[in-house]
Amino acid sequence: MATAREIHRHMKSVKNIGQITKAMKMVAAARLRKAQERAAASRPYAIKIKEVLSNIVGDKGTLSGLDPRKHPLLQKRPVKKVGFLVMCSDKGLAGAYGSNVLKHAMSEIMKVNGEVTIITCGRRARDFFRHRGFNVLKSHYGFSDKPSYNNAVEVAYDAAQRFAGGEFDELRIVYTLFKSALAQMPTAEVILPLEPPKAEAPKAGEAQVKTNTEYLFMPEAEDILADLAPRYLETVVYAALVQSAASELGARMTAMSSATDNAAKLVKSLELNYNKARQAQITRELTEICGGAEALKQN
Protein backbone atom coordinates (compact mmCIF):
# COMPACT_ATOMS: atom_id res chain seq x y z
CA MET A 1 0.00 0.00 0.00
CA ALA A 2 1.16 3.49 -0.86
CA THR A 3 2.42 5.66 1.94
CA ALA A 4 0.31 8.44 3.35
CA ARG A 5 2.50 11.04 1.74
CA GLU A 6 2.19 9.52 -1.73
CA ILE A 7 -1.57 9.41 -1.43
CA HIS A 8 -1.60 12.99 -0.25
CA ARG A 9 0.34 14.07 -3.32
CA HIS A 10 -2.06 12.21 -5.59
CA MET A 11 -5.00 13.85 -3.90
CA LYS A 12 -3.57 17.28 -4.45
CA SER A 13 -3.07 16.73 -8.15
CA VAL A 14 -6.57 15.33 -8.58
CA LYS A 15 -8.01 18.34 -6.80
CA ASN A 16 -6.09 20.69 -9.05
CA ILE A 17 -7.28 18.95 -12.17
CA GLY A 18 -10.81 19.07 -10.83
CA GLN A 19 -10.54 22.82 -10.47
CA ILE A 20 -9.30 23.20 -14.02
CA THR A 21 -12.07 21.07 -15.50
CA LYS A 22 -14.60 23.01 -13.46
CA ALA A 23 -13.31 26.28 -14.89
CA MET A 24 -13.40 24.84 -18.41
CA LYS A 25 -16.93 23.70 -17.87
CA MET A 26 -18.05 27.14 -16.85
CA VAL A 27 -16.28 28.77 -19.78
CA ALA A 28 -17.93 26.32 -22.17
CA ALA A 29 -21.33 26.97 -20.61
CA ALA A 30 -20.98 30.72 -21.03
CA ARG A 31 -19.83 30.37 -24.63
CA LEU A 32 -22.55 27.88 -25.39
CA ARG A 33 -25.14 30.44 -24.40
CA LYS A 34 -23.58 32.95 -26.75
CA ALA A 35 -23.41 30.43 -29.55
CA GLN A 36 -27.07 29.61 -29.10
CA GLU A 37 -27.95 33.28 -29.22
CA ARG A 38 -25.99 33.65 -32.41
CA ALA A 39 -27.73 30.67 -33.94
CA ALA A 40 -31.07 32.22 -33.10
CA ALA A 41 -30.02 35.62 -34.45
CA SER A 42 -28.92 34.19 -37.79
CA ARG A 43 -32.17 32.37 -38.41
CA PRO A 44 -34.33 35.22 -39.77
CA TYR A 45 -31.75 36.04 -42.42
CA ALA A 46 -31.41 32.41 -43.47
CA ILE A 47 -35.16 31.96 -43.67
CA LYS A 48 -35.63 35.16 -45.64
CA ILE A 49 -32.92 34.43 -48.16
CA LYS A 50 -34.38 31.01 -48.73
CA GLU A 51 -37.75 32.61 -49.34
CA VAL A 52 -36.38 35.08 -51.86
CA LEU A 53 -34.53 32.31 -53.63
CA SER A 54 -37.61 30.16 -53.87
CA ASN A 55 -39.59 33.17 -55.08
CA ILE A 56 -37.15 33.71 -57.91
CA VAL A 57 -36.94 30.08 -58.84
CA GLY A 58 -40.67 29.67 -58.43
CA ASP A 59 -41.39 32.57 -60.75
CA LYS A 60 -43.00 31.44 -63.95
CA GLY A 61 -40.59 31.18 -66.77
CA THR A 62 -37.44 31.82 -64.78
CA LEU A 63 -36.25 28.28 -64.44
CA SER A 64 -37.05 27.23 -67.97
CA GLY A 65 -35.05 30.11 -69.39
CA LEU A 66 -32.12 29.47 -67.08
CA ASP A 67 -28.73 29.21 -68.67
CA PRO A 68 -26.79 26.72 -66.57
CA ARG A 69 -23.46 28.06 -67.69
CA LYS A 70 -24.29 31.34 -66.02
CA HIS A 71 -24.97 29.64 -62.70
CA PRO A 72 -22.06 27.37 -61.89
CA LEU A 73 -23.40 26.66 -58.42
CA LEU A 74 -26.63 25.21 -59.74
CA GLN A 75 -24.96 23.10 -62.37
CA LYS A 76 -25.67 19.38 -62.12
CA ARG A 77 -22.94 17.13 -63.45
CA PRO A 78 -22.48 13.38 -63.42
CA VAL A 79 -20.90 12.73 -60.05
CA LYS A 80 -17.43 11.32 -60.44
CA LYS A 81 -15.62 13.19 -57.72
CA VAL A 82 -17.23 13.84 -54.39
CA GLY A 83 -16.04 16.56 -52.07
CA PHE A 84 -16.62 16.49 -48.34
CA LEU A 85 -16.68 19.54 -46.15
CA VAL A 86 -16.09 18.21 -42.67
CA MET A 87 -16.56 20.43 -39.66
CA CYS A 88 -14.89 19.54 -36.40
CA SER A 89 -13.27 21.34 -33.50
CA ASP A 90 -9.84 22.92 -33.21
CA LYS A 91 -9.27 21.55 -29.74
CA GLY A 92 -10.05 18.34 -27.94
CA LEU A 93 -11.40 17.85 -24.43
CA ALA A 94 -14.93 17.79 -25.77
CA GLY A 95 -15.82 14.22 -25.03
CA ALA A 96 -16.84 12.19 -28.05
CA TYR A 97 -17.78 15.25 -30.13
CA GLY A 98 -14.81 15.06 -32.46
CA SER A 99 -14.68 11.33 -32.90
CA ASN A 100 -18.44 11.16 -33.47
CA VAL A 101 -18.47 13.58 -36.36
CA LEU A 102 -15.28 12.17 -37.87
CA LYS A 103 -16.62 8.64 -37.62
CA HIS A 104 -19.78 9.75 -39.32
CA ALA A 105 -17.74 11.41 -42.05
CA MET A 106 -15.73 8.23 -42.53
CA SER A 107 -18.84 6.10 -42.89
CA GLU A 108 -20.21 8.56 -45.46
CA ILE A 109 -16.94 8.52 -47.34
CA MET A 110 -16.89 4.73 -47.39
CA LYS A 111 -20.24 4.73 -49.16
CA VAL A 112 -18.85 6.70 -52.07
CA ASN A 113 -17.39 4.76 -54.94
CA GLY A 114 -15.35 7.28 -56.78
CA GLU A 115 -12.76 9.85 -56.01
CA VAL A 116 -13.03 11.61 -52.67
CA THR A 117 -11.54 14.98 -51.80
CA ILE A 118 -11.86 16.77 -48.52
CA ILE A 119 -12.10 20.27 -47.18
CA THR A 120 -11.86 20.57 -43.43
CA CYS A 121 -12.86 23.07 -40.80
CA GLY A 122 -11.05 22.67 -37.52
CA ARG A 123 -7.60 21.31 -36.74
CA ARG A 124 -8.88 17.97 -35.51
CA ALA A 125 -10.53 17.20 -38.82
CA ARG A 126 -7.45 18.25 -40.74
CA ASP A 127 -5.11 16.04 -38.70
CA PHE A 128 -7.51 13.12 -38.84
CA PHE A 129 -7.75 13.08 -42.63
CA ARG A 130 -4.10 13.91 -43.23
CA HIS A 131 -2.98 10.96 -41.13
CA ARG A 132 -5.25 8.68 -43.07
CA GLY A 133 -3.78 9.82 -46.36
CA PHE A 134 -6.80 11.59 -47.80
CA ASN A 135 -6.56 14.36 -50.32
CA VAL A 136 -7.20 17.42 -48.16
CA LEU A 137 -7.71 20.32 -50.55
CA LYS A 138 -7.97 23.02 -47.97
CA SER A 139 -8.20 23.28 -44.23
CA HIS A 140 -9.83 26.16 -42.44
CA TYR A 141 -9.21 26.53 -38.75
CA GLY A 142 -9.08 28.93 -35.83
CA PHE A 143 -12.79 29.64 -35.48
CA SER A 144 -14.43 26.33 -34.60
CA ASP A 145 -16.03 27.53 -31.35
CA LYS A 146 -16.74 31.11 -32.40
CA PRO A 147 -17.52 31.25 -36.11
CA SER A 148 -18.33 34.66 -37.58
CA TYR A 149 -20.24 35.25 -40.77
CA ASN A 150 -17.00 36.23 -42.46
CA ASN A 151 -15.59 32.79 -41.73
CA ALA A 152 -18.58 31.29 -43.48
CA VAL A 153 -18.06 33.62 -46.43
CA GLU A 154 -14.48 32.46 -46.72
CA VAL A 155 -15.34 28.77 -46.53
CA ALA A 156 -18.26 29.10 -48.93
CA TYR A 157 -16.28 31.14 -51.44
CA ASP A 158 -13.45 28.64 -51.45
CA ALA A 159 -15.84 25.72 -51.86
CA ALA A 160 -17.75 27.47 -54.64
CA GLN A 161 -14.55 28.20 -56.55
CA ARG A 162 -13.45 24.59 -56.34
CA PHE A 163 -16.86 23.33 -57.35
CA ALA A 164 -17.00 25.65 -60.34
CA GLY A 165 -13.44 24.67 -61.23
CA GLY A 166 -14.44 21.01 -61.36
CA GLU A 167 -12.43 19.80 -58.38
CA PHE A 168 -15.54 17.93 -57.31
CA ASP A 169 -18.95 17.38 -58.86
CA GLU A 170 -20.83 17.29 -55.62
CA LEU A 171 -20.10 18.70 -52.20
CA ARG A 172 -21.42 17.16 -49.05
CA ILE A 173 -21.20 18.81 -45.71
CA VAL A 174 -20.66 16.82 -42.53
CA TYR A 175 -21.38 18.70 -39.33
CA THR A 176 -22.97 18.20 -35.95
CA LEU A 177 -26.55 19.22 -35.39
CA PHE A 178 -27.12 20.70 -31.97
CA LYS A 179 -30.12 19.22 -30.22
CA SER A 180 -29.24 20.00 -26.62
CA ALA A 181 -26.16 20.20 -24.47
CA LEU A 182 -26.43 16.44 -23.98
CA ALA A 183 -27.45 15.36 -27.47
CA GLN A 184 -25.73 16.23 -30.70
CA MET A 185 -26.23 14.51 -33.99
CA PRO A 186 -23.62 14.19 -36.73
CA THR A 187 -25.32 14.99 -40.00
CA ALA A 188 -24.40 14.83 -43.67
CA GLU A 189 -26.06 16.85 -46.42
CA VAL A 190 -25.43 17.63 -50.05
CA ILE A 191 -24.89 21.38 -50.44
CA LEU A 192 -23.50 21.67 -53.97
CA PRO A 193 -24.90 21.78 -56.59
CA LEU A 194 -27.41 24.03 -54.89
CA GLU A 195 -30.86 22.60 -54.77
CA PRO A 196 -33.12 25.63 -54.97
CA PRO A 197 -35.70 25.29 -52.23
CA LYS A 198 -39.08 24.37 -53.59
CA ALA A 199 -41.69 26.99 -53.12
CA GLU A 200 -43.28 25.93 -49.87
CA ALA A 201 -46.48 24.00 -50.05
CA PRO A 202 -49.10 26.71 -49.82
CA LYS A 203 -50.91 26.86 -46.54
CA ALA A 204 -54.65 27.21 -46.53
CA GLY A 205 -55.71 30.80 -47.10
CA GLU A 206 -52.24 31.89 -48.06
CA ALA A 207 -52.32 29.89 -51.23
CA GLN A 208 -53.89 32.40 -53.56
CA VAL A 209 -51.59 35.25 -52.66
CA LYS A 210 -48.44 33.23 -53.13
CA THR A 211 -49.18 31.84 -56.51
CA ASN A 212 -50.48 35.11 -57.87
CA THR A 213 -47.48 37.18 -56.98
CA GLU A 214 -45.53 38.08 -60.03
CA TYR A 215 -42.32 39.88 -59.40
CA LEU A 216 -40.60 42.68 -61.12
CA PHE A 217 -36.92 41.78 -61.21
CA MET A 218 -34.19 44.37 -61.11
CA PRO A 219 -31.95 43.43 -62.85
CA GLU A 220 -33.10 40.28 -64.67
CA ALA A 221 -33.99 37.28 -62.54
CA GLU A 222 -30.96 35.47 -63.90
CA ASP A 223 -28.57 38.15 -62.75
CA ILE A 224 -30.14 38.29 -59.33
CA LEU A 225 -29.86 34.55 -59.10
CA ALA A 226 -26.18 34.73 -60.00
CA ASP A 227 -25.72 37.07 -57.06
CA LEU A 228 -28.06 35.25 -54.73
CA ALA A 229 -26.76 31.71 -55.14
CA PRO A 230 -23.39 32.31 -53.46
CA ARG A 231 -25.10 34.27 -50.67
CA TYR A 232 -27.42 31.35 -50.09
CA LEU A 233 -24.49 28.96 -49.93
CA GLU A 234 -22.91 31.22 -47.31
CA THR A 235 -25.96 31.02 -45.11
CA VAL A 236 -26.01 27.24 -45.39
CA VAL A 237 -22.36 27.05 -44.41
CA TYR A 238 -22.84 29.57 -41.63
CA ALA A 239 -25.76 27.65 -40.19
CA ALA A 240 -23.64 24.47 -40.16
CA LEU A 241 -20.70 26.28 -38.55
CA VAL A 242 -22.90 27.71 -35.84
CA GLN A 243 -24.53 24.35 -35.18
CA SER A 244 -21.13 22.71 -34.96
CA ALA A 245 -19.85 25.37 -32.59
CA ALA A 246 -22.84 24.97 -30.30
CA SER A 247 -22.40 21.20 -30.39
CA GLU A 248 -18.71 21.45 -29.61
CA LEU A 249 -19.33 23.69 -26.63
CA GLY A 250 -22.21 21.57 -25.44
CA ALA A 251 -20.11 18.43 -25.66
CA ARG A 252 -17.24 20.15 -23.91
CA MET A 253 -19.50 21.32 -21.15
CA THR A 254 -20.87 17.83 -20.51
CA ALA A 255 -17.44 16.25 -20.73
CA MET A 256 -15.92 18.72 -18.32
CA SER A 257 -18.85 18.43 -15.98
CA SER A 258 -18.47 14.67 -15.72
CA ALA A 259 -14.70 15.08 -15.36
CA THR A 260 -15.28 17.41 -12.42
CA ASP A 261 -17.70 14.96 -10.82
CA ASN A 262 -15.25 12.18 -11.35
CA ALA A 263 -12.46 14.16 -9.74
CA ALA A 264 -14.61 14.77 -6.68
CA LYS A 265 -15.38 11.06 -6.44
CA LEU A 266 -11.73 10.16 -6.80
CA VAL A 267 -10.72 12.60 -4.11
CA LYS A 268 -13.24 11.02 -1.78
CA SER A 269 -11.89 7.52 -2.22
CA LEU A 270 -8.32 8.78 -1.98
CA GLU A 271 -9.18 10.53 1.24
CA LEU A 272 -10.44 7.25 2.67
CA ASN A 273 -7.24 5.51 1.66
CA TYR A 274 -5.19 8.35 3.06
CA ASN A 275 -6.91 8.13 6.43
CA LYS A 276 -6.46 4.38 6.47
CA ALA A 277 -2.79 4.74 5.69
CA ARG A 278 -2.36 7.44 8.29
CA GLN A 279 -4.12 5.33 10.91
CA ALA A 280 -2.01 2.30 10.01
CA GLN A 281 1.13 4.36 10.41
CA ILE A 282 0.09 5.62 13.84
CA THR A 283 -0.76 2.10 14.96
CA ARG A 284 2.55 0.83 13.67
CA GLU A 285 4.48 3.54 15.47
CA LEU A 286 2.62 2.84 18.67
CA THR A 287 3.34 -0.88 18.57
CA GLU A 288 6.97 -0.11 17.82
CA ILE A 289 7.21 2.19 20.84
CA CYS A 290 5.43 -0.31 23.08
CA GLY A 291 7.63 -3.10 21.78
CA GLY A 292 10.73 -1.00 22.43
CA ALA A 293 9.61 -0.16 25.96
CA GLU A 294 8.92 -3.82 26.71
CA ALA A 295 12.36 -4.79 25.47
CA LEU A 296 14.01 -2.12 27.62
CA LYS A 297 12.07 -3.25 30.70
CA GLN A 298 13.25 -6.84 30.35
CA ASN A 299 16.86 -5.74 30.42
Partner 1 sequence: MANLMQLEIVTPDKYFIKRDNVVYAGFEALDGGFGVFANHMPAIAALKDAPFKYRDSNNEEHFIYLSGGFAEIVKNKITILSILAEAAEDIDLERAHAALERAESRIANFTVDLNIKRAEAAKARALGRIRTVELSMAAKMR
Is there binding between residue 33 and partner 1 (CB under 8 A)? no
Amino acid code (one letter) for 30: A
Is there binding between residue 45 and partner 1 (CB under 8 A)? yes
Q: 257 and 28 in contact (C-beta within 8 Å)?
A: no
- State the first-to-last Cα distance of the chain, in angstroms, to the nearest integer: 35
Rounded Cα gap, residues 108 and 83, in angstroms:
11
Using the rule CB under 8 A, which residue among 48, 76, 91, 179 binds partner 1? Answer: 48
Using the rule CB under 8 A, which residue among 205, 219, 295, 299 binds partner 1? Answer: 219
Helices 221-298, 97-111: crossing angle, 10 deg rounding: 130
Q: List, in order, residues 6 or more apart from 59 with CB less than 8 Å away.
A: 214, 215, 217, 221
**Which of 177/224 has CB closer to partner 1?**
224
Determine the interface stretch with partner 1 among 18-26, 191-199, 215-223, 280-288 (rule: CB under 8 A). Answer: 215-223
Is there binding between residue 54 and partner 1 (CB under 8 A)? no
**Which of 63/153 has CB closer to partner 1?**
153
**Which of 94/236 has CB closer to partner 1?**
236
Region of 134 (left: φ > 0; alpha: ψ -120 to 50; beta: rest) is: beta
Rounded Cα gap, residues 70 and 227, in angstroms:
11
Rounded Cα gap, residues 80 and 169, in angstroms:
6
Is there binding between residue 38 and partner 1 (CB under 8 A)? yes
Determine the interface stretch with partner 1 among 45-53, 77-85, 261-269, 272-280 (rule: CB under 8 A). Answer: 45-53
DSSP 61: T
Rounded Cα gap, residues 271 and 274, in angstroms:
5
Determine the interface stretch with partner 1 among 94-102, 185-193, 214-222, 250-258 (rule: CB under 8 A). Answer: 214-222
Using the rule CB under 8 A, which residue among 90, 231, 266, 273 binds partner 1? Answer: 231
Is there binding between residue 296 and partner 1 (CB under 8 A)? no
Point out which residues bind partner 1 (CB under 8 A): 38, 41-42, 44-46, 48-49, 51-52, 55-56, 149, 153, 209, 213-219, 221, 223-224, 227-228, 231, 235, 238
